[in-house]
Copies of this chain bind each other. A is one copy, B any other.
Amino acid sequence: MYACTFGVLARRERGLIRKKVAELAGVSEATVSRVLSGVGTVKEETARRVMEAARQLNYVPSALAQRFALRRSGNLGVILPMLPKVNLFSTYYFSEVLSGIGMTAKQRGYDLLLLFREPDEPRDYANLFRTQKVDGCIIIGAQDVPSERAALAELREGNHPFCLVNQRYDGEDYNSVDADQRTGCREAVRHLLAQGCRKIGFLNGPAVYSNSKDRLRGYREALEEAWLAFLPERVLLGNYSRTSGYQQAKAVAALVQAGHIDAIIAANDRMAIGLLQGLKESGVKVGEDVALIGCDDSDIVRMTDPPLTSIRVPFFDIGSEAASRLLDAVADQDGSAAFDVKLPVKLITRASSSAAGTTKA
């Protein structure tokens, strides 16, 4: 526990140690005391050299003292929203992204520090760096609200390495790894049109998530492509929970029975599954009366009745890509350029979208 006892060594001894370490590390004595006392900032490379020299001279600092001097926690932070009544890890989206992050962090020798954020809790992300709890952080479920924008701006000002997952901010070039949801929804609409559907509805999530906006854009673009009008009354809103999909089922059933829609795309599988359950209860047959497409291609969609057509999003890859690029940035804080990755998605067709439209055409 050398670095700890440094504080209580006699001044003469401290001077002696400083001198020896400085010689061995090839730095000034002032630098050595900055490193060993944890005062002031020192280039990481230099700090490492000093620590190494101290070690060679059998002044073995404690791990905490090392992190103290190197300003390193060895932790990769992941900021997650605390969703009311949702077991976060039980949602396919968070599960897969975290698995990808965890696998990569492990490979890179980092531990994962999970930081849960209550909806109304102040977002003081920079403090995680000030208190050296993390060396970098990934933010999942970030929303486009003023408090979040402020917190991210503070991270940027502090030059703290961070990365957004599945979220973007107009006018900001923050590090981000995302899926190409826009193309995904375009593909989904094209597929439904090919099935003979002409009246395609859309159950979207909140606009505070850039993904919701991307999906809506893709949906509109594909309609325009086919010279079909965009009708606002065919667009419903949920909050990405299964319950919200279930709650919209009555409205969707009414639209189907009134002949106003013959297909619907849900912005994630959870809402699609809630919708599927609700439509069953309303006597509407998915895959016959109406075509249904979800998004995520989560493990559950193979098991629904009928199996659900869904847009496969590589969440695991998104997580590992975010972690590996962020940890590169952590290792090389000056040299690293901002990154903005969009991974491709793929439509997986199943019975829920089988020629529903045509049977009615």
Contact = CB atoms under 8 A, between A and B. Distances in A.
A82 B88 CA distance: 20
B63 A132 contact: yes
A5 interface: yes
A111 B114 contact: yes
A293 interface: no
Contact of A132 (B64, B132, B273, B300): B64
A35 to B, nearest CB: 11
Nearest to A130: B63
Nearest to A78: B114
B4 A38 contact: yes
A102 B114 contact: yes
Contact of A115 (B33, B100, B111): B111
A106 B88 CA distance: 13
A87 interface: yes
Interface of A, helix, strand, loop or mixed by DSSP? helix
Interface residues of A toward B: which range?
35 or more
A99 B90 CA distance: 8
- In the complex, the count of this chain's copies comes to 2
A33 B62 contact: no
Given A37-B8, A38-B4, A113-B111, A131 B63 contact: yes
Contacts of A88: 99, 102
A39 to B, nearest CB: 5
Nearest to A34: B8
A44 interface: no
Contacts of A94: 89
A93 B239 CA distance: 25
A6 interface: yes
A111 B128 CA distance: 11
What 8 A-B pairs have minimum CB-CB distances, sorted nearest first? A63-B131, A7-B7, A87-B99, A89-B95, A7-B37, A112-B114, A303-B303, A90-B95
